[in-house]
Amino acid sequence: MRLASYNLHKCRGMTGPHAPERNLAVIAGLQADVVALQEVDFRYGARPEALPRALVQEATGLVPADFTGTGENSLGWHGQTLLLRPDLAAAAQVRRLPLPGIEPRGAIALRLPGLTVVAVHLGLARSSRRAQLARLVAQAGRLGAGPVALMGDFNEWHDERGLEPLSGWQVVAPGPTWPAPLPRLRLDRFALTRDLHLRDSGVFHDMPARQASDHLPIWADIALP
């Protein structure tokens, strides 16, 4: 199974304009089974979708997970959503997981047969990130039996600090992802329980990824036990 994570930066690239067709082309190029997306909605007001829901399946072959978003016209919750293959969507169960911290944050847990995927966009303060990861690790055992994969924008540039709650997990930072035109920081990561086998991982550099967002997407190929 291929998992991927991508911070869309509200489909505005580095400086604009709003051009979601570029982000959809990048998502299609990932050829993933499940994609965690961050910043899929505009930030202010009613939080309307920045990534048009109506274009997703035709452009990528994937469908958004079924859950209640932040607002009536939002694609995501706290700016996040999950896309997945249509055949997986029929068996998926989705939970929203509120997270602690200075700013409002939440995670989305997608339970599939044999795997639970948790999409995250962690806070800007390291103290918040530690608390959020501790909450997610504590909840992982209650999300259902079987392996768990956390993935998303961890907002953590250090390879050790801030990630202490993930001791015992496989933490995978495939490479620098930010800023997209000349990436220097590894902000986007996977954290896998030990019963998952990581076959390969990487950062997606293909065009138009360097113009479509301020983050490059990451991917991981995993084998279920």
In the chain, where are the structural domains located?
A: 2-223
pLDDT grade for 211, boundaries at 50, 70 and 90 = very high
What's the pLDDT score for residue 45? 77
pLDDT grade for 143, boundaries at 50, 70 and 90 = confident
pLDDT digits (tens, 9 = 90+) for 125-141: 999 999 999 999 999 87
* Contact indicator for 34, 220 with CB cutoff of 8 Å: no
pLDDT grade for 163, boundaries at 50, 70 and 90 = very high
pLDDT digits (tens, 9 = 90+) for 25-79: 999 999 999 999 999 999 887 899 999 999 999 999 999 999 999 999 999 999 9
Percent of the chain with pLDDT over 70: 100
pLDDT grade for 19, boundaries at 50, 70 and 90 = very high
Which residues on adjacent β-strands are paired with residue 185? 178
Short-list 38, 33, 52, 28, CA closest to 5: 38
What's the pLDDT score for residue 145? 72
pLDDT grade for 215, boundaries at 50, 70 and 90 = very high
Q: Taking 90 as the threshold, does the pLDDT of residue 148 lie above it? A: yes
Q: What rounded mean pLDDT belongs to the chain?
A: 95
* Contact indicator for 166, 138 with CB cutoff of 8 Å: no
Name the superfamily (CATH) of residues 2-223.
Answer: Endonuclease/exonuclease/phosphatase (3.60.10.10)
Cα 77 to Cα 132: distance, rounded to the nearest angstrom: 16
Percent of the chain with pLDDT over 90: 89
pLDDT grade for 159, boundaries at 50, 70 and 90 = confident
Q: Taking 80 as the threshold, does the pLDDT of residue 188 lie above it? A: yes
Write down the pTM of the prediction: 0.96
pLDDT grade for 225, boundaries at 50, 70 and 90 = confident
Short-list 99, 82, 96, 196, CA closest to 155: 99
pLDDT digits (tens, 9 = 90+) for 84-121: 999 999 889 999 999 999 988 999 999 999 999 999 99
Strands (E), the chain: 2-7, 34-38, 63-64, 81-84, 93-99, 105-112, 115-121, 148-153, 170-172, 188-192, 197-203, 218-223
- Dig out the tokens for 199 from the structure: 């076959």
Place of tokens 């979601």: 20
pLDDT grade for 156, boundaries at 50, 70 and 90 = very high
Q: Which H or E run contains 28?
A: helix 20-30
